[in-house]
Structure 1
Amino acid sequence: MDYLPTRLGDLIVWMANFASKLPGYASTFGLSAAEVAQVATDRAVLEFAINGARIRQTDAQEWVQFRETVLFAPLGTPMPSLPTPGNVGALPTGALASIVPRVRALVQRLKAHPNYTTAIGEDLGIEPPSVSQPDRPTLRARAETNFRVRLTFTMYRMPMLEIQSRRGSETEFTTIAFDTSSPYVDGREPLEAGKPEVREYRARYIDRNDQPIGDWSDVVSVTAKP
């Protein structure tokens, strides 16, 4: 099992731990001040990139909802407010691309050093975890307003989750999303405009080669309402 988390939110936490504790081992491994400083910069840039993408994804979801309301809402629906873009901030000074490969190369150096121990590796978070993983996800669904359904799940360091749904008179499940972090919000308009509909969901893990892992989750059912 890899020591690096696959879930982006967990990767932020991992990088924060690695960057904060590495200076304490600089002399142990003969690291220069510039190398330690680069890891600190990489931490800031990694968090900036991940959070920035999340903000823009939220922006996109809000624009999709805006579009769907403007185009397909029932007659008499008030015009929605124009979505306001989120603030991603400024790119940290000294940003360099290829953060994960650079960190992996550094970790490889640390592990090859004669002063390396398993205890140090566990403190830095570079020893693989020994936590067992389920072979299928647990999916939870909650109806929100405006026909939205919020799905929550735990990734358990899995790379991706495939989410399928079936609703109304549909007889087959179809894939509606591939997600890497919880939650996922299903913001589709109902098949019959303005009418509540029962939606069923199931999900399964996907590996780095886009192949399914384990079985489908139990099917969860929820009624989407205005």
Structure 2
Amino acid sequence: MPKWTVRPIDGGKGLPPYKIFFEFLVIQDKTTMPTSSYMPKDDSGKADLLDHVAATLPKYVVTLDISAEDLASHQADAVAFRYGLNLHNYAQSYAHNCTAAKNLLRDGGTDATLWPIPPLLPEPIPPIVKSGIIPRFSLFVTRLKAHKNFSPAIGQDLRIIGSAYIIDPSTWKPVLSSLVQAGHPTVVWTKGKASAIEIWVDRNDGNGFVFLIIHTEPNTPDPAPLPPPETSVVWKYKAIYRYHDEQVGEWSDVLSVVVGG
């Protein structure tokens, strides 16, 4: 930042009786940028990390002296958090369907008016765990890193060293599943590090796959009009992740959902 000083001088005819001088202060910034945190900021990313550690940790139980109780505790936490996240996403989808039904009742439309059916708890229901999964996981990671046998290679494999985990969007491939609410399918997916997901649908009407939506948060209800009563049809969905507003990675496997009937 420049330091301004004013010094009086004899300006002479037609000149101001002062001049402005600059004195630049050189400031050396010695702040070191910290490495990025291994902990994702969003819940979907946290669930993915917990799942990955739960699946990868068993091969290090001897190297890092991980007890059977600690391993079982973390694996139970991972399952419980994923289940809780899915319940949250199902509830959001149900809320979306409630809004659509309310708007249809209010404004009219071509679709049949049906009361949305509240989501049922998906089976199997995991045992409840003690609250504070993420703080507990962070303490567990701190213990692992303090072990004499811990190494950067192990940290990279477990994805608990932030700067060492390289994001490679070219390897991303969505995994789709479905949930049906009041006859309408909801495409279930996880976000991970992606910015959004792009979903296409084939309604078995001869048009093949057509663009459906770009969605930034799981999950994605399909509010399209349902087939006539007592008629069933197979709708197919495929999706690809988006990152920095571009398609990345591979297309998902095709998800088939029977609608109507």
TM-score bracket for this pair, using the shorter chain length = 0.5 to 0.7
1:87 aligns with 2:123: no
Of the three residues 158, 172, 190, the one matched with 1:124 is 158
Tell me which of the two structures has the higher relative contact order, counting C-alpha pairs closer than 8 angstroms and 6 or more residues apart: 1
Q: Counterpart of 2:77?
A: 42
Unpaired runs of 5+ residues, structure 2, are: 1-35, 170-190, 196-214, 224-244, 246-261
Q: Counterpart of 2:49?
A: 14
SS class of match (1:39): helix
Of the three residues 63, 67, 87, the one matched with 1:52 is 87
Which structure has the greater CA radius of gyration?
Answer: 2
Q: Counterpart of 1:67?
A: 102
Report deviation, 1:10.
3.1
More helix by share: 1
Of the three residues 26, 32, 45, the one matched with 2:61 is 26
| Distance (Å, rounded) in 2 between the aligned partners of 1:57 and 1:183 | 8
Report deviation, 1:4.
2.0
| Distance (Å, rounded) in 1 between the aligned partners of 2:59 and 2:139 | 19
1:24-61 per-residue CA deviation (whole Å, 9 max, x = no partner) reads: 21222222211110011001101100001000100000
The answer to whether the 8 A contact 1:66-1:82 is kept is yes
| Distance (Å, rounded) in 2 between the aligned partners of 1:11 and 1:64 | 29
Range moving further from structure 2, 106-115 or 2-11: 2-11
Q: Counterpart of 2:147?
A: 113
Give runs of ≥4 in structure 1 deviating > 6 Å. Answer: none
| Distance (Å, rounded) in 1 between the aligned partners of 2:126 and 2:87 | 12
The answer to whether the 8 A contact 1:7-1:157 is kept is no
Aligned residues: 150
The answer to whether the 8 A contact 1:8-1:181 is kept is no
1:53-107 per-residue CA deviation (whole Å, 9 max, x = no partner) reads: 0001000000000011111226xx5651111222333642252211111111100
The answer to whether the 8 A contact 1:44-1:92 is kept is yes
CA pair 180-101 structure 1, distance change in 2 beyond 3 A: farther
Q: Which amino acid aligns with 1:11?
A: K
Normalised to the residue count of structure 2, the TM-score between the two structures is 0.49
| Distance (Å, rounded) in 1 between the aligned partners of 2:193 and 2:62 | 34
The answer to whether the 8 A contact 1:107-1:126 is kept is yes
Of the three residues 204, 217, 240, the one matched with 1:181 is 217
Q: Which amino acid aligns with 1:181?
A: E
The answer to whether the 8 A contact 1:5-1:157 is kept is no
| Distance (Å, rounded) in 2 between the aligned partners of 1:86 and 1:94 | 19
| Distance (Å, rounded) in 1 between the aligned partners of 2:73 and 2:140 | 11
Within-5 A mapping of 1:64-213 = 64-73=99-108, 79-89=112-122, 91-128=125-162, 129-131=165-167, 156=193, 181=217
Over the matched positions of the two proteins, sequence identity in percent amounts to 24
SS class of match (1:29): coil
CA pair 61-78 structure 1, distance change in 2 beyond 3 A: closer
More strand by share: 2
